[in-house]
Chains A and B, each alone.
Chain A
Amino acid sequence: MTARSGHPPDRRVPPGEPAVQRQFPGRFEPGWFSFRPLCGSMVGMQPDLCE
């Protein structure tokens, strides 16, 4: 678990790799909207507008 969030560190997997394989139920049943991808490692710096 990360210190700040309590989320498992494997949230940060490269984009494009399957993150969660959920057999989600119907549109307004529990679980349908709780999906969250495990991603975000491919993040760089915005072009520095002041450079």
Chain B
Amino acid sequence: MSDTELWARPATELAELIREKSVSPVEILDSVLDRLDAVEPTVHAFITVTDDLARAEAAAAAERARRGELIGPMDGIPYSIKDLENTAGIRTTLGSMFFTDNVPDTDSVVAGRLRSSGGVLLGKTNTPHFGYKDMADNLVAETTVNPWDPTRTVGGSSGGAAAAVAAGLGPLAQGSDGAGSIRIPAALCGVVGFKPSFGRIPVHPGREYWSHRTHNGPLTRTVADAALMTAVMAGDDDRDALSLTSELGEFLPPPPSAHPLAGRKVRWSPDLGYGLVSAEVARVVAGAVQGLAELGCEVEEKVPGWEDPSSFHRVIYTSQIAAGIGPLADRHPEWIEDTLMQLISVGRSFSAVELKTAEIQRGALYNAARSLFEEIDFLVTPAMPLVAWPAEPGPGLREIDGTPLPPHMGRSYAVNPFNLTGQPAITVPCGWTEAGLPVGVQIVGRRNSDIDVLEFAHVLEQHLALTDRWPALP
């Protein structure tokens, strides 16, 4: 691959090329659409490709660039939106047979912000039914597969987004993360996935403004691109009652030096004290942790100290699914995947008191996490305890190195606690297994420390120097 191919450039570089008039947004789009023609028939990242709209948006951006009137650094940059997000005039299926022909009249908050950034929308990326699981198959579209090994899953629920970025189909992808759904596919696809603090990017339309765990965020190939897209999407909006009113701040990573992270206190835990983790994944992530030590961090390997939240998280998660999707399932059970139907059934088995008890336990987890972060700056874990598993629709592999996962524990046990606490968390590619599958390291920061997490991750990313590696697609 030539280093001049535009589809392979990060958004930060493309923005500078556009601004200095070295490259037109139309040229960038042409490059990305050529790449899409070549690899999308294999990867199936998109449910809907909006190429006509993209050409019009790129032409408009090119004219703004010519006049020196660029809106901002996303102007003219190709991006994608997950198909859970309403987009005016563009089919929005939610990965659901109930919404195969749904065309919203209006944009969601985040879709509207991206649209008015001047970015070039490539299309809507694949998601499991209403984003319910950590894979990207549904009854609506082709299953999205992993660009690093098309026999394996891309992860989910922002699986199409991760596949698009990993395959070079736009450097920026919007995703959403209610129980790991940005970080899971990012880790399995070797890209960056950032879940900002709860409320940093508004969620609207939505339904559970007072008790939900959903976070919007970016999937990108570099941390700087994640910071760029976060800056475009962040900012409170009264339609999301819990959106944050504090400013995001400026992404200004420290300049290169011998020990740019000197004095930062890092807690490293391969399994949080209660999970299973693949030995090879733990070894690869430990290499990144060694890198943090070389950069000056004070690293301590120790469990965070809280109880496994999997059991009460399951109550919250499944009861939400039962309440939200159950009535639809009653109407058309044939449009509901078996695994989703099982979750609805589990959710319906819990009482109101059990749900409220789970919410109280969620509060206790927040207290424990807050106390821990009085002692440390960052918690570091593997983002996923295993690499991408076979892509066949269904429940997916539920064992690690031959040991079955406990029935109550999901594959996402390392990422979903921070949906419950609302802390910012990012996954950054940190290596590949001998079989060539990517591994991601998760970095968790204090609530509202989004920029600190991004800058810290950027320094690690620069140290690891892995961003030039691409999957062997056509």
Q: Total contacts A to B, CB within 8 angstroms? A: 140
B67 CB, nearest partner CB in chain A, Å: 10
Q: What secondary structure prevails in chain A residues at the interface with B? A: loop
Complex contact A44–B104 (CB within 8 A): yes
Q: Give chain A residues whose Cβ lies under 8 Å from the Cβ of B395.
A: none
* 8 A Cβ contacts from A14-44 to B: 14-24, 26-44
For chain A, give the interface size range.
Answer: 35 or more
Task: Note all chain B residues with C-beta closer than 8 A to A41.
Answer: 112
Contact-size category for B: 35 or more
Q: Is there contact, CB below 8 Å, between B228 and A40?
A: no
CB distance from A39 to the nearest CB of B (A): 4
Q: Are A18 and B71 in contact (CB under 8 A)?
A: yes
Which residues of B are found within 8 Å of A34, using beta-carbon distances? Answer: 231, 250
Q: How far does the Cβ of A46 sit from chain B's closest Cβ, in whole Å? A: 4
Closest A residue to B88 using CB positions: A42
CB distance from A28 to the nearest CB of B (A): 6
Q: For B229, give the chain A residue with the smallest CB separation.
A: A33
A contact residues around B104 at 8 Å (CB): 44, 47
**B253 / chain A contacts, CB cutoff of 8 Å:** 28
B337 within 8 A of A: no
Q: Which of B210-257 contact A (CB under 8 A)?
A: 224, 227-228, 231-232, 234-239, 245, 250-253
The reply to whether A27 and B112 form a contact with Cβ atoms under 8 Å apart is no
Which of A7, A19, A33 contacts B236, CB < 8 Å? A7
Q: How far is the CB of B3 from chain A (nearest CB, A)?
A: 18
Q: Say yes or no: A21 contacts B207, CB within 8 Å.
A: no
- Whether B116 lies near A33 (C-beta < 8 A) is no
Residue positions of A touching B, CB distance < 8 A? 2, 4-7, 11, 13-24, 26-50
Given contacts A5-B245, A7-B235, 18 further A-B contacts (CB under 8 A): A6-B245, A7-B236, A16-B116, A19-B72, A19-B116, A27-B224, A32-B73, A34-B231, A35-B72, A37-B71, A37-B113, A39-B113, A39-B115, A39-B116, A40-B112, A44-B205, A49-B130, A50-B327
